[in-house]
Amino acid sequence: MEASFSWNCRYANKSGFPCQLTARAEDSKTILERIAGIEQWLVASGATPAGPEAPASIAPVVAPSTPAEPEHPAGWCTVHDTQMQMHEKNGTSWYSHQVDEGWCRGKPNGKK
Ligand SMILES: [Zn+2]
């Protein structure tokens, strides 16, 4: 015998996946009882309701950022791989360290 009542329910399960349930019954009393039972089960299972027009609210997957280079402390000279000294003059400060040619400020193309 063909069901005369059907009920569709869209919901997101506990993990956030969109799901759909369909209940069918031959009379309104039975379908209402089934709907109530399904709703209780959905709530108990951690599902959240989703309307017919509800967009999928899936957060974009953000790839963990992997730094290209290991982080160095402030004032680290990546050219010579050494810790520079901080200097202060006239309210400004900079890092530099002494090399054979003079002072290095930790920049490959800096003045020598
Ligand atoms: Zn250097």
The predicted structure's pLDDT at residue 110: 47
Quick one: CA dihedral 65, 70, 72, 77, positive or negative? negative
Q: What is residue 56's predicted lDDT score, i.e. its pLDDT?
A: 54
18-61: pLDDT as tens digits: 888 888 888 889 989 999 999 899 999 999 887 555 555 556 66
Instruction: Quote the ligand 1 centre to 94 CA distance (angstroms).
Output: 13
Global confidence as pTM: 0.41
User: Which two tokens mark 109?
Assistant: 């193309």
| CA 104 / ligand 1 centre spacing (Å) | 5
Stretch 59-69: mean pLDDT: 66
Between 55 and 68, where is the model more confident? 68
Measured CA angle at 88 (ends 83, 90), to 5 deg: 155
Distance 106 CA to ligand 1 centre (A): 4
